[in-house]
Amino acid sequence: MQNRQLEKLCLLARRAVAQTGTFIRQQAGKVGAEAIETKSHNSLVSYVDKTAEAQLVEKLGQLLPEAVFITEEDTVENQDGTYQWIIDPLDGTTNFLHQLPFYSISVALREKGETILGIVYEVTREECFYAWKDGGAYLNDERISTTSCATFGDSLIATGFPYYDYEKVTPYLEVFKTLMHGTRGIRRFGSAALDLAYVACGRFDAYFEYSLNAWDIAGGAIIVQEAGGRVCDFEGGDNYLFGGEIIAGGTQLMPAMEQLIQQHFYPSQP
């Protein structure tokens, strides 16, 4: 897709996302216990996630009729195709249901397997983070960039705690211990998409997490990259989208982050 076309599509997709953001905001604090389902261990969902997803599928489908979808809540069949929207209609569902303010909508568009557009909309603060390929990254119309922080001592790091896949807790806690001692602090906000958006605009210097799905990170990853940052998996490779493990940050801090994480998660590698 050509750059001008992509920019226009991004603008229209942002409008669609903001409309669904309004719906989610209106539902905050109104979801009763009887409306909450448990999909799997510690994974909750309500009509808000499902309605938001159906809205996004309808609106984004109209913008690009040839595109197929990968979505979290299965309101549409997940398919492979030349153009593919990857949608998390509500990232941070546990926060939303507990009336904590950190939750977002994450949308990405891929063309032949390459992400070309990303939107992360923070519902409570109405902050829209977005980027398109080779177009830069923005927060509500202002250009954003990752930090030039180069040392752990000056850094604020984001993560997500393991909450169902406890197999890698030991290396995770080793990394955590080093960062706890060596950085300004660690934050766990509970929305992976937002963690990435906050890296993109420099609020966080870096972020890492494992056991994620593509819909958690597809939108945020391209925003970090277009903001000048680096995104990789725990081995330093490109398999973060479907591999479940992700590190993202400003380019100056990333070598130290990657080295620390590899050392504990994949110790046999140099």
Instruction: Please identify, among the stretches 90-98, 128-136, 175-183, 248-256, the one whose residues bind Ca ion according to the rule CB under 5 A.
Output: 90-98
| Two tokens, residue 35 | 């409306």
- Cα 76 to chain centroid distance, Å, stands at 21
When binding is defined by CB under 6 A, the residue of 190, 229, 244, 250 that contacts ligand IPD is: 190
| Two tokens, residue 147 | 């930090």
Across 154-220, the runs of DSSP E, i.e. the strands, are 156-159, 185-187, 206-209
Query: Considering the complex, what minimum distance in angstroms separates the CB of residue 81 from ligand IPD?
Result: 23
Q: Does 92 bind ligand IPD (CB under 6 A)?
A: yes
Which residues in 143-172 contact ligand IPD (CB under 6 A)? 160
| Two tokens, residue 175 | 């990394």
SS3 140: coil
Cα dist. 111→68, 117, 173 in Å?
11, 9, 37
Query: Considering the complex, what minimum distance in angstroms separates the CB of residue 181 from ligand IPD?
Result: 23
Task: Mark residues 216-235: x for contact with Ca ion by CB under 5 A, - for none.
Answer: x-------------------
Cβ atoms within 10 Å of 24's Cβ, excluding its own: 22
When binding is defined by CB under 6 A, the residue of 191, 225, 252, 262 that contacts ligand IPD is: 191
Cα dist. 231→62, 80, 187 in Å?
31, 23, 19
Q: Does 205 bind Ca ion (CB under 5 A)?
A: no
CA distance 152 to 256: 8
Give, in degrees to the nearest 5, the angle at Cα 75 between 63 and 40.
135
Q: What ranges in 80-191 are assigned the alpha helix state H? A: 93-97, 169-182
Q: Does 202 bind ligand IPD (CB under 6 A)?
A: no
Indicate which of ligand IPD, Ca ion, none lies near residue 160 (CB less than 5 to 8 Å, by partner kind): ligand IPD
| Two tokens, residue 33 | 């216990």
Residue count of the chain, please give it: 270
When binding is defined by CB under 6 A, the residue of 144, 175, 192, 254 that contacts ligand IPD is: 192
When binding is defined by CB under 6 A, the residue of 53, 91, 205, 233 that contacts ligand IPD is: 91
Query: Considering the complex, what minimum distance in angstroms separates the CB of residue 121 from Ca ion?
Result: 13
Indicate which of ligand IPD, Ca ion, none lies near residue 159 (CB less than 5 to 8 Å, by partner kind): none
Query: Considering the complex, what minimum distance in angstroms separates the CB of residue 96 from ligand IPD?
Result: 8
List residues near Ca ion by CB under 5 A: 72, 88, 90-91, 216
